[in-house]
Amino acid sequence: MRKKTNYQGTEDDYSNRPPSASNTRSHKGSKGQASSFKGSAKSTSKKPASIPSAPVKSYIVQEDAELLTYLLANLSNKSRNSVKALLSRGQISVDGKPITAFNHPLTKGMSVTIDQEKKEEAPPLIGLTILHEDDDIIIVNKDSGLLSVASDKEQELTAYRQLTAHVRVSHPANRIFIVHRLDRDTSGVMMFAKSEAIQQSLQNAWRDTVEERTYVALVEGKVKQEQGTITSYLKESKTLKMYSTPYANDGQKAVTHYKTLQTSNDYSLLEIQLETGRKNQIRVHMEELGHPVVGDKKYGAKGRGIGRLALHARVLAFTHPGTGKQMRFETPIPKAFLRPFPPK
Protein backbone atom coordinates (compact mmCIF):
# COMPACT_ATOMS: atom_id res chain seq x y z
CA MET A 1 0.00 0.00 0.00
CA ARG A 2 1.37 3.39 -0.98
CA LYS A 3 2.54 5.55 1.85
CA LYS A 4 1.74 9.25 1.81
CA THR A 5 4.56 11.64 2.50
CA ASN A 6 4.28 14.20 5.26
CA TYR A 7 7.32 16.34 4.62
CA GLN A 8 8.29 18.50 1.70
CA GLY A 9 11.51 16.85 0.75
CA THR A 10 13.45 13.88 -0.45
CA GLU A 11 15.78 11.56 1.41
CA ASP A 12 18.32 14.36 1.37
CA ASP A 13 15.93 17.12 2.46
CA TYR A 14 14.49 20.00 0.50
CA SER A 15 15.44 23.63 0.27
CA ASN A 16 13.35 26.76 -0.10
CA ARG A 17 16.33 29.06 0.22
CA PRO A 18 16.57 31.75 -2.42
CA PRO A 19 19.32 30.87 -4.90
CA SER A 20 22.65 32.41 -4.00
CA ALA A 21 24.58 34.59 -6.36
CA SER A 22 26.92 31.68 -7.04
CA ASN A 23 23.99 29.71 -8.43
CA THR A 24 23.06 32.15 -11.16
CA ARG A 25 24.75 33.26 -14.30
CA SER A 26 23.78 35.40 -17.22
CA HIS A 27 23.43 33.92 -20.65
CA LYS A 28 24.34 36.73 -23.03
CA GLY A 29 24.27 36.64 -26.78
CA SER A 30 27.32 37.41 -28.88
CA LYS A 31 27.95 41.00 -29.91
CA GLY A 32 27.76 41.98 -33.53
CA GLN A 33 30.75 43.55 -35.29
CA ALA A 34 30.42 46.89 -37.08
CA SER A 35 32.16 47.43 -40.44
CA SER A 36 32.92 50.64 -42.35
CA PHE A 37 33.40 51.42 -46.05
CA LYS A 38 35.27 54.42 -47.46
CA GLY A 39 34.74 55.52 -51.04
CA SER A 40 36.29 58.30 -53.09
CA ALA A 41 34.59 61.68 -53.33
CA LYS A 42 33.44 60.88 -56.86
CA SER A 43 32.09 57.47 -56.12
CA THR A 44 28.49 56.85 -55.26
CA SER A 45 27.74 54.49 -52.42
CA LYS A 46 25.08 51.90 -52.71
CA LYS A 47 23.16 50.43 -49.81
CA PRO A 48 24.25 46.83 -49.46
CA ALA A 49 21.61 44.31 -50.28
CA SER A 50 19.95 42.88 -47.17
CA ILE A 51 20.44 39.23 -46.47
CA PRO A 52 17.10 37.47 -46.09
CA SER A 53 16.55 35.89 -42.73
CA ALA A 54 16.10 32.18 -42.38
CA PRO A 55 12.50 31.14 -43.08
CA VAL A 56 9.93 30.82 -40.35
CA LYS A 57 7.38 28.12 -41.02
CA SER A 58 4.06 27.60 -39.29
CA TYR A 59 1.81 24.56 -39.28
CA ILE A 60 -1.63 23.81 -37.92
CA VAL A 61 -1.82 20.43 -36.19
CA GLN A 62 -4.35 18.13 -37.85
CA GLU A 63 -4.25 15.24 -35.38
CA ASP A 64 -2.94 14.55 -31.88
CA ALA A 65 0.75 13.66 -31.63
CA GLU A 66 3.90 14.22 -29.60
CA LEU A 67 5.96 17.19 -30.75
CA LEU A 68 9.09 15.34 -31.91
CA THR A 69 7.04 12.83 -33.92
CA TYR A 70 5.11 15.67 -35.54
CA LEU A 71 8.27 17.59 -36.45
CA LEU A 72 9.96 14.54 -37.98
CA ALA A 73 6.90 13.99 -40.18
CA ASN A 74 6.78 17.62 -41.34
CA LEU A 75 10.52 18.26 -41.66
CA SER A 76 11.39 15.28 -43.82
CA ASN A 77 14.42 17.13 -45.22
CA LYS A 78 16.05 17.27 -41.79
CA SER A 79 17.68 14.51 -39.79
CA ARG A 80 16.43 13.45 -36.40
CA ASN A 81 19.47 15.08 -34.74
CA SER A 82 18.83 18.36 -36.59
CA VAL A 83 15.23 18.43 -35.40
CA LYS A 84 16.32 17.71 -31.83
CA ALA A 85 18.81 20.58 -32.11
CA LEU A 86 16.01 22.95 -33.15
CA LEU A 87 14.05 21.87 -30.08
CA SER A 88 16.95 22.17 -27.65
CA ARG A 89 17.74 25.69 -28.91
CA GLY A 90 14.18 26.92 -28.37
CA GLN A 91 13.45 27.33 -32.09
CA ILE A 92 10.15 25.47 -31.92
CA SER A 93 7.06 27.24 -30.57
CA VAL A 94 3.61 25.83 -29.88
CA ASP A 95 0.82 28.40 -29.81
CA GLY A 96 3.45 31.11 -29.50
CA LYS A 97 5.41 29.58 -26.60
CA PRO A 98 8.92 28.12 -27.10
CA ILE A 99 8.93 24.39 -26.29
CA THR A 100 12.02 22.22 -25.71
CA ALA A 101 10.44 18.98 -24.48
CA PHE A 102 10.47 16.25 -27.15
CA ASN A 103 7.31 14.66 -25.76
CA HIS A 104 5.22 17.84 -25.55
CA PRO A 105 1.65 16.80 -26.44
CA LEU A 106 0.00 18.37 -29.51
CA THR A 107 -3.73 18.41 -30.13
CA LYS A 108 -5.68 19.23 -33.26
CA GLY A 109 -5.82 22.97 -33.99
CA MET A 110 -2.57 23.93 -32.25
CA SER A 111 -0.08 26.08 -34.13
CA VAL A 112 3.53 24.90 -34.45
CA THR A 113 6.10 27.49 -35.54
CA ILE A 114 9.65 26.60 -36.62
CA ASP A 115 12.23 29.38 -36.64
CA GLN A 116 15.22 28.05 -38.53
CA GLU A 117 17.44 31.01 -37.72
CA LYS A 118 20.10 29.63 -35.42
CA LYS A 119 19.66 30.70 -31.82
CA GLU A 120 22.08 31.02 -28.98
CA GLU A 121 22.79 27.57 -27.55
CA ALA A 122 23.01 26.64 -23.91
CA PRO A 123 26.06 24.60 -22.94
CA PRO A 124 25.47 20.84 -23.10
CA LEU A 125 24.12 19.37 -19.88
CA ILE A 126 26.74 17.49 -17.87
CA GLY A 127 25.63 14.72 -15.50
CA LEU A 128 22.01 15.61 -16.14
CA THR A 129 19.23 14.41 -18.45
CA ILE A 130 15.89 16.18 -18.90
CA LEU A 131 13.03 13.67 -18.65
CA HIS A 132 10.18 16.17 -19.00
CA GLU A 133 9.72 19.92 -19.37
CA ASP A 134 6.64 22.12 -19.65
CA ASP A 135 5.63 25.66 -18.68
CA ASP A 136 5.64 24.85 -14.95
CA ILE A 137 8.23 22.18 -14.14
CA ILE A 138 11.38 20.39 -15.27
CA ILE A 139 11.97 16.73 -14.33
CA VAL A 140 15.56 15.51 -14.58
CA ASN A 141 17.63 12.41 -13.94
CA LYS A 142 20.76 13.50 -12.02
CA ASP A 143 23.98 11.51 -12.08
CA SER A 144 25.92 10.61 -8.95
CA GLY A 145 28.63 13.20 -8.27
CA LEU A 146 26.67 16.29 -9.39
CA LEU A 147 25.55 18.83 -6.80
CA SER A 148 21.89 19.77 -6.89
CA VAL A 149 22.61 23.33 -5.81
CA ALA A 150 25.77 24.95 -4.49
CA SER A 151 26.16 26.70 -1.16
CA ASP A 152 27.16 30.35 -0.94
CA LYS A 153 30.83 29.38 -0.83
CA GLU A 154 30.80 26.87 -3.68
CA GLN A 155 31.29 27.80 -7.33
CA GLU A 156 31.27 24.39 -9.01
CA LEU A 157 28.89 23.07 -11.63
CA THR A 158 25.43 22.19 -10.32
CA ALA A 159 22.11 20.96 -11.67
CA TYR A 160 20.60 24.32 -10.77
CA ARG A 161 23.16 26.38 -12.70
CA GLN A 162 22.94 24.21 -15.81
CA LEU A 163 19.15 24.30 -15.91
CA THR A 164 19.16 28.07 -15.38
CA ALA A 165 21.32 28.42 -18.51
CA HIS A 166 18.99 26.01 -20.31
CA VAL A 167 15.79 27.99 -19.66
CA ARG A 168 17.47 31.32 -20.43
CA VAL A 169 18.06 30.25 -24.01
CA SER A 170 14.35 30.88 -24.60
CA HIS A 171 14.32 34.17 -22.67
CA PRO A 172 17.08 35.83 -20.58
CA ALA A 173 14.64 36.56 -17.73
CA ASN A 174 13.64 32.91 -17.25
CA ARG A 175 14.48 31.27 -13.92
CA ILE A 176 14.15 27.94 -12.16
CA PHE A 177 13.38 27.25 -8.50
CA ILE A 178 14.51 24.46 -6.18
CA VAL A 179 11.72 22.13 -5.05
CA HIS A 180 13.87 19.46 -3.37
CA ARG A 181 17.46 18.25 -3.41
CA LEU A 182 19.37 15.02 -3.77
CA ASP A 183 22.73 14.51 -2.11
CA ARG A 184 25.71 15.00 -4.43
CA ASP A 185 26.42 11.26 -4.55
CA THR A 186 22.78 10.16 -4.83
CA SER A 187 21.49 9.81 -8.39
CA GLY A 188 17.98 9.83 -9.74
CA VAL A 189 14.80 11.78 -10.38
CA MET A 190 14.51 15.42 -9.32
CA MET A 191 11.92 18.14 -9.91
CA PHE A 192 12.50 21.86 -10.45
CA ALA A 193 9.85 24.59 -10.73
CA LYS A 194 9.89 27.27 -13.41
CA SER A 195 8.19 29.92 -11.27
CA GLU A 196 8.14 30.85 -7.61
CA ALA A 197 4.37 30.32 -7.47
CA ILE A 198 4.71 26.70 -8.67
CA GLN A 199 7.59 26.12 -6.24
CA GLN A 200 5.49 27.30 -3.31
CA SER A 201 2.48 25.30 -4.48
CA LEU A 202 4.55 22.11 -4.59
CA GLN A 203 6.27 22.63 -1.26
CA ASN A 204 3.15 23.71 0.61
CA ALA A 205 1.14 20.72 -0.60
CA TRP A 206 3.96 18.16 -0.90
CA ARG A 207 2.19 15.57 1.23
CA ASP A 208 -0.88 15.59 -1.01
CA THR A 209 0.96 16.20 -4.30
CA VAL A 210 3.58 13.44 -4.19
CA GLU A 211 2.15 9.95 -4.60
CA GLU A 212 5.35 7.89 -4.64
CA ARG A 213 9.05 8.31 -3.98
CA THR A 214 10.90 5.06 -4.46
CA TYR A 215 14.64 4.57 -4.09
CA VAL A 216 16.88 1.58 -4.70
CA ALA A 217 19.92 0.98 -2.53
CA LEU A 218 22.69 -1.59 -2.70
CA VAL A 219 23.65 -2.36 0.89
CA GLU A 220 26.38 -4.41 2.54
CA GLY A 221 25.59 -7.91 3.74
CA LYS A 222 22.62 -10.21 3.38
CA VAL A 223 19.40 -8.69 4.74
CA LYS A 224 17.55 -11.59 6.34
CA GLN A 225 14.14 -9.96 6.78
CA GLU A 226 12.44 -9.67 3.38
CA GLN A 227 10.70 -6.41 4.24
CA GLY A 228 10.32 -4.07 7.18
CA THR A 229 9.90 -0.55 8.52
CA ILE A 230 12.43 1.56 10.41
CA THR A 231 11.22 4.43 12.61
CA SER A 232 13.34 6.84 14.60
CA TYR A 233 13.87 10.52 15.38
CA LEU A 234 16.74 12.19 13.53
CA LYS A 235 19.07 14.92 14.74
CA GLU A 236 22.20 16.53 13.30
CA SER A 237 25.47 16.54 15.19
CA LYS A 238 27.92 19.44 15.36
CA THR A 239 29.95 17.63 12.69
CA LEU A 240 26.87 17.70 10.37
CA LYS A 241 26.25 13.96 10.65
CA MET A 242 22.68 12.80 11.14
CA TYR A 243 21.92 10.30 13.88
CA SER A 244 18.90 8.72 15.59
CA THR A 245 17.55 9.48 19.00
CA PRO A 246 14.84 7.43 20.73
CA TYR A 247 13.17 10.53 22.18
CA ALA A 248 10.15 11.85 20.27
CA ASN A 249 10.68 15.46 21.31
CA ASP A 250 14.38 15.42 20.52
CA GLY A 251 14.39 15.11 16.75
CA GLN A 252 12.33 14.83 13.55
CA LYS A 253 10.34 11.65 13.07
CA ALA A 254 11.64 9.54 10.18
CA VAL A 255 9.90 6.46 8.74
CA THR A 256 11.51 4.24 6.08
CA HIS A 257 9.91 1.18 4.46
CA TYR A 258 12.13 -1.36 2.67
CA LYS A 259 11.69 -4.51 0.60
CA THR A 260 14.43 -6.92 -0.50
CA LEU A 261 14.76 -7.35 -4.27
CA GLN A 262 17.92 -9.52 -4.48
CA THR A 263 20.48 -10.89 -2.02
CA SER A 264 23.82 -12.63 -1.98
CA ASN A 265 26.18 -13.42 0.88
CA ASP A 266 27.83 -10.01 0.55
CA TYR A 267 25.16 -7.65 -0.77
CA SER A 268 21.44 -6.92 -0.81
CA LEU A 269 19.48 -4.82 -3.26
CA LEU A 270 16.61 -3.01 -1.54
CA GLU A 271 13.60 -1.06 -2.76
CA ILE A 272 12.95 1.78 -0.33
CA GLN A 273 9.90 3.99 0.09
CA LEU A 274 9.91 7.09 2.25
CA GLU A 275 7.03 8.02 4.50
CA THR A 276 9.03 11.07 5.59
CA GLY A 277 11.90 12.84 3.87
CA ARG A 278 14.57 13.78 6.38
CA LYS A 279 18.15 14.62 5.55
CA ASN A 280 20.22 11.43 4.97
CA GLN A 281 17.28 9.39 6.27
CA ILE A 282 17.92 6.26 4.20
CA ARG A 283 21.64 6.30 4.92
CA VAL A 284 21.10 6.58 8.69
CA HIS A 285 18.41 3.90 8.75
CA MET A 286 20.45 1.43 6.69
CA GLU A 287 23.34 1.84 9.14
CA GLU A 288 20.93 1.16 12.02
CA LEU A 289 19.64 -1.90 10.19
CA GLY A 290 23.21 -3.20 10.19
CA HIS A 291 23.48 -2.99 6.42
CA PRO A 292 24.97 0.39 5.42
CA VAL A 293 24.66 1.65 1.86
CA VAL A 294 27.59 0.46 -0.26
CA GLY A 295 30.21 3.20 -0.55
CA ASP A 296 28.80 5.21 2.36
CA LYS A 297 31.85 5.51 4.62
CA LYS A 298 30.17 8.33 6.56
CA TYR A 299 27.43 5.97 7.71
CA GLY A 300 29.28 2.75 8.39
CA ALA A 301 30.21 1.16 5.05
CA LYS A 302 33.40 -0.91 5.26
CA GLY A 303 33.58 -2.77 1.93
CA ARG A 304 35.41 -1.92 -1.29
CA GLY A 305 32.35 -0.33 -2.84
CA ILE A 306 31.44 0.18 -6.49
CA GLY A 307 33.01 3.57 -7.10
CA ARG A 308 30.00 5.62 -5.94
CA LEU A 309 27.34 5.82 -3.24
CA ALA A 310 24.88 3.05 -4.13
CA LEU A 311 21.68 5.04 -3.65
CA HIS A 312 19.35 6.01 -6.50
CA ALA A 313 16.00 7.88 -6.55
CA ARG A 314 14.23 5.63 -9.01
CA VAL A 315 10.58 6.76 -9.05
CA LEU A 316 8.80 10.08 -8.56
CA ALA A 317 5.02 10.17 -9.01
CA PHE A 318 2.95 13.26 -8.32
CA THR A 319 -0.01 15.41 -9.27
CA HIS A 320 1.04 18.12 -11.72
CA PRO A 321 0.72 21.49 -9.92
CA GLY A 322 -0.58 23.27 -13.01
CA THR A 323 -2.74 20.74 -14.85
CA GLY A 324 -3.81 18.44 -12.02
CA LYS A 325 -2.78 15.39 -14.08
CA GLN A 326 -1.09 12.35 -12.55
CA MET A 327 2.55 12.04 -13.64
CA ARG A 328 5.05 9.26 -12.96
CA PHE A 329 8.73 9.07 -13.85
CA GLU A 330 10.73 5.87 -13.43
CA THR A 331 14.43 5.46 -14.18
CA PRO A 332 16.41 2.20 -14.55
CA ILE A 333 18.33 0.68 -11.66
CA PRO A 334 21.99 1.64 -12.21
CA LYS A 335 23.87 -1.29 -13.76
CA ALA A 336 26.57 -1.12 -11.10
CA PHE A 337 23.94 -2.00 -8.46
CA LEU A 338 23.18 -5.27 -10.27
CA ARG A 339 26.74 -6.50 -10.83
CA PRO A 340 27.05 -8.34 -7.47
CA PHE A 341 24.19 -10.63 -8.45
CA PRO A 342 24.17 -13.40 -11.07
CA PRO A 343 21.95 -12.66 -14.09
CA LYS A 344 18.48 -14.16 -13.91
Amino acid making up residue 337: F
Q: Which class for 341: exposed (0-12), middle (13-18), buried (19 or more C-beta within 10 A)?
A: middle
Is residue 183 among the annotated active site residues? yes
**Residues 216, 310: Cα–Cα separation, whole Å:** 8
DSSP state at residue 275:
S
**Residues 183, 310: Cα–Cα separation, whole Å:** 12
Best CA proximity match to 179, nearest among 161, 206, 158: 206
Q: Are 138 and 316 in contact (CB under 8 A)?
A: no
Total residues found in the chain within this entry: 344
List the beta strands (DSSP E) in the chain: 56-60, 65-66, 92-94, 97-98, 105-106, 111-115, 128-133, 137-142, 177-178, 187-193, 210-220, 227-236, 242-245, 252-263, 267-274, 311-319, 326-330
Residues 263, 268, 269, 274: is their CA dihedral positive or negative? Answer: positive
Q: How far is CA 30 from CA 27, 33, 155, 250, in A?
A: 10, 10, 24, 56
**Residues 272, 142: Cα–Cα separation, whole Å:** 18
Q: Considering 183, 250, 266, 296, which one is annotated as catalytic?
A: 183
Contacts of 304 (CB under 8 A, 6+ apart): none
Best CA proximity match to 244, nearest among 256, 259, 229, 254: 254
Catalytic residues: 183
